[in-house]
A and B are shown apart, each in its own frame.
Chain A
Amino acid sequence: MEYEKCYVFKPEDSRPVKRRKVEPQGLQSSWNLRKEAYQEAWKAQQDRIDERLRTINATTINGILDFLEEAASNATEIRIPTGLILAGPNSALRTSIAAQISSHSDTTRRRSYIQISSSSGSNLKSLLKTIIQKATSRAVEDDEDELDDQPASRKGGPKLLNYDLELLHLHVQERRIEQVVIAIEDPEACDGELLSELIELFSYWQDRIPFVLFFNIATSVEFLQQRLSKTAIKHLDGRVFDAAVSSDEVEQVFDALTTSDTSLWIGSNLSTMILDRQSDYIQGIESLVQAARYAYMSHFYANAVSISLSPSLALKDVTAQYLEALRNLPSFRTFARQLLDNGDPGRLRDLLDRDDKAFEFAQNSVREGKEALAEILEATEVVRSLQITIPNTTASSKSRMYVQAMSGKLAGSPMLRTLLLTLRKAPSDTAINVANALLERKTPRDLIDELSPIVREIEALIKDQDDKAQPLRSEEDVKNSTLRTTVIAQKVELSKQKSALSKQDAAYTTIIRRLSDVLETYFAEKLVNPKDLTLHEIFLYDLKSPFREVFTPRPRHAVERALAAPHDYLDCDCCGPDHGDGDDATLASTQPSTAVLYQLYLESGNMINASDLWQAFQAVVGDSQDEQQVMAQFQRGLAEMRYLGFVKNTRKRVDHVAKVAWRGL
């Protein structure tokens, strides 16, 4: 061994094969099927979302493209044409706009797109390097074969310095580029001086390199202007573009997520949570998409019965365990109870005993459930169209309506009742508007079939009307009744008096009552609680907890809780709840030293005397142990507290540590 510098381990034989379960068993065996089902379902969803997002910013993009075109056609050489895109603090929107602009490059103009951000460089030199590198490495068009990709340099001379804009100039000349578009993603985060210098430098080269600048503004134009130097501002010729408002975007994407042909529906609890988070904290649309995607994944990956969502599922694909799981679903049990109550035990027996029947039943219920959900969605649209057409009502947003409908509370909601009451009081011109708006929707079929005769009748009434100036009035309209006061024996009596209604008005009243009754029955029929649908567990996903744990973790709370109640995490016998009084703030010598220190820390004031802390610690941990060992524990615990950011050294008093973090923030 002495001659060897190091020991080389030479194993005698190959490693023993691990006895792993490679093949999934039981319910897990449907894993591949579920994965495929997920991919299929999500792909359809993603395509819809992408489609929506493409159209959202279409007007802004077109405006920007026109601006580019204009800047290219009348180049001034004095001021740099600058687009100021007001995108808000939404980083995703900025990048999507920039990407869309660069993807829209038409063939008539040769443009070079460069995106830089505050992280591209901390000084002028590195920023220029990045810009030049990005500009010259990207080919403008692929079909230019005759232009080989040699590094641009001066003829016969040495290579230019890599931050020399001359390189960009040569590249522009060589490729006959008409515009160099530089998009600065986060001008707020860039150093103001650096940005000003960059702009000044660009303006010096503007006569040779046709620059166009884009700023993505998160706060306001004034803010940018305050931070730039006067010379830099002089060189900019700006135009403001307004990008789509974020809340509108959320609506659009959420709408795309809940079209009638989605395979998995997101329940009310989860969607409330996602939407609230969207408005409270984030303005990026991608987090909404991610949340939906995560919901899909958790449903398909964790729930074995989700294979029923795969459209091409056959009986031979499923296992016995799957059917067993199906039969144990709560909604199946309710259904079975119903069958028994209805006196149909034979059917239930079939479902329980025969696999093919059970499978068929599952497929049918999933299909019916989805249809029912689509009808719910349609009904919400009918409500919305009522809200839009009836005057003096505010239309709720689609997403809020969806959440309400999915919670099953829309059917008896006060909002719906008021809406129908208002309809009953409405005069004929409003009623005809409402009915026509519903007819124009062309769906749902059965509602339309019932509505069209009513509409015809109203129209006929209006045609026969004597006084064309006034619309027909409904009996229930408050305006039609007058309040009459009579004083009899020093008592005031109030009596309502219906004003005389014409014959046509009376006829109209019956019709409008019929209309509202038709709608009411329609809503009552369609707006069922999705949780009452049979086998809703398969096509409805409404679990809060994985989303909450994954997307909104609480790091600080977790650390504080772990230190305050170490037993919950360690699950040791020594300091269980029976040991103390049961509340979490008990001190015990068996706890980890950091946890003990933390609890002492919580009781102390702003400045903690290290010696006092040591004595308290020693009192808790006990004198029985060796003092040196306790000291080591103390020091280690204090060092950990410092590492976690609870205490820090202070210059005010040398023998103290300062408290930095308070609990519960």
Chain B
Amino acid sequence: MGLSMLPDELLLSLSDQWPCRDGQLKQLAALLSPTLPSPSTLVVYGPRASGKSGIVKSYLKNSALDHAIVRCRECVTGRHLLEKIIGEVFDALHSQHVNGDTESHPGRCENLSSLSVHLQRLLEKRDKFVLVLDGVDKQREAPPTLLPALARLGEVIPQLTLILIVRNPPPRFLHQPGVPHLQFPPYGRTQSIHIVSRKPPDIFLEAPPDDMDYDDETHEEDKAWLWPRFCAAVWDALAQNAARDLAAFQDACHKLWRPFVAPVIKGDFGTRDFSRLVVAQRRLFQDENVLLDSIISTPNGAATLSKSKTHELPYYAKWLLVAAYLASFNPTKLDALYFMKSTEKKRRKKGGGVSRSGGRPSQVRKIPRHLLAASAFTLDRLLAIMHAILPDDIRTTIDIYKQIATLSSLRLLVRAGGIGSSDPLEPGGKWRVGPMVTWEHVQSIARNIDFNLTDYVAD
């Protein structure tokens, strides 16, 4: 076995670098041995953050096989991928053999057949070459024949071994039987905790004062003791349900670590008071905000976004937005009731005189309107409602239309679907309020302009 495969010490160092992946490493070593023949195509699959790309990459690097790795996610089109494959293969072959025999670059590669021709020519004199396509199932704008054609490249080019790294392969996605698949299962609880706890972060960011008699050695010991326990607690509380993959788990652990050890730094607890610390800090493990991502990273670990400051819209833009909300959420047939000045006094009473105490609840369950999707309205209805609710008359100038344009560029007003919705000049074109315009949002705007919104909303 030692002859055909990698030396044992190499494998050992790899398995040290990638813990809990011994089986996969051995399989790789068997399938991609430098001396023995390899299958023409190999599918490596497994969920996110299970070490597929990393292990394949470091294995190939250590095994001294000629190889090229193409990251498909960086390729914008299928054509781009093909060009990239050729480029990478060319670079891989020529970086190792810098001696004089410079072949010229094969040139353009427009389609799959020219790819196979180019590869044949490039690999003519080699005896073994490994081409890794990382994440080929997520390729943008891939031609439908890409995967089956790639899988058959080995038939044309016997020197080539193709490794396809995918997340979850559908059955028969290569249209070819007998392609070896190598599974990378997700890490389990013990494995995850083991991996994450290999590098414990510091408890104390700055060295404690000298009089506490606390040197670096004890610090190392303490954090190596505390961190795995903490990781296990995070896994049990949050990660096993919501952050199962290693990256998310690690992320959550690191986010929670600093608030978790804050009492230790303050001196309320000792470094080994784990159970008391967990009880004291149980709020951290109950708060699920840590699992949400946010653009603005807040230092205390929780990703709560404070009500961030926003700049105000111009005065009439606010009225327009309120009018648009009313137009979207009030039924058209009630417009005369709500917006005609003469009927202001005689609003219809709620309930229509039916006694509420007795009788069964109505069979038709009514969903509050503001929870439903916004309905479309014409621009004239919007303007009419705005004129009706404005406290004073305005001169309709081009500025109002400009406000409409501004609101629509901010996606607060959007064009509703239908025929001719792409043409803004279409007579009677329909609009609706954007998804950001919620009841709360509009209510705060209405309060700002001193308008009693509830009087005008049909319930």
Contact = CB atoms under 8 A, between A and B. Distances in A.
Interface of A: 82, 84, 86-90, 124-125, 128, 154, 156-158, 160-161, 163-165, 186, 188-189, 197, 200-201, 204-205, 218-226, 228, 230, 233-234, 236-240, 242, 245-246, 277, 279-283, 552-557, 642, 645-648, 658, 660-662, 665
Contacts of B84: 164
B296 A188 contact: no
Given A158-B108, A204-B71, A662-B380, A553 B410 contact: no
B305 A221 contact: yes
B74 A201 contact: yes
Nearest to A192: B411
A220 B108 contact: no
Q: How extensive is the interface on chain B, given as a class?
A: 35 or more
A86 B425 CA distance: 32
A225 B295 contact: yes
B132 to A, nearest CB: 16
B387 A665 contact: yes
Main DSSP-derived SS at the B contact region: loop
B387 to A, nearest CB: 7
B356 interface: no
B108 A124 contact: no
Tell which of A128, A554, A646, A647 has the most Cβ of chain B within 10 Å.
A554
A20 B83 CA distance: 66
A41 B332 CA distance: 55
Interface stretch (B206-214, B268-276, B310-318): B310-318
Contacts of A221: 295-296, 305, 308
Given A204-B74, A282-B314, 8 more contacts: A84-B296, A88-B310, A219-B412, A233-B294, A236-B295, A280-B399, A553-B398, A665-B387
Contacts of A160: 83
A86 B314 contact: no
8 contacts: A89-B406, A89-B410, A124-B140, A154-B87, A157-B87, A218-B311, A277-B399, A665-B380
Contacts of B398: 552-555
Contacts of B73: 200-201, 204
Contacts of A87: 311
B295 A82 contact: yes
Interface in B148-173: none
A89 B74 contact: no
A468 B87 CA distance: 89
Nearest to A662: B380
A165 B105 contact: no
Contacts of B331: none
Given A164-B80, A281-B314, A281-B403, A658 B411 contact: no
Contacts of A224: 295
Given A89-B410, A280-B314, A554-B398, A239 B296 contact: yes
A279 B314 contact: yes
A88 B406 CA distance: 11
Nearest to A548: B397
Contact of B378 (A197, A234, A660): A660
B133 to A, nearest CB: 15
A233 B295 contact: yes
A659 to B, nearest CB: 9
Interface string B358-395: 00000000000000000000101001100100000001
Contacts of B305: 221-222, 225
Nearest to B402: A281
A553 B425 contact: no
A188 B409 contact: yes
A482 to B, nearest CB: 41
A545 to B, nearest CB: 13
Interface string B439-454: 0000000000000000
B120 interface: no
B221 interface: no
A557 B397 CA distance: 8
B10 interface: no
A189 B410 contact: yes
B293 interface: yes
Nearest to B398: A553
A237 B296 CA distance: 6
Contacts of B313: 89
Interface in B245-273: none
Contacts of B395: 552, 554
A554 B396 contact: yes
B70 to A, nearest CB: 12
Contact of A553 (B76, B384, B397): B397
Given A281-B314, A660-B378, A665 B396 contact: yes
A205 B74 contact: yes
Interface in B399-426: 399-403, 406, 409-412, 425
B242 to A, nearest CB: 13
B118 to A, nearest CB: 12
B105 A157 contact: yes
Contacts of A240: 296, 308-309
B99 interface: no
Nearest to B420: A648
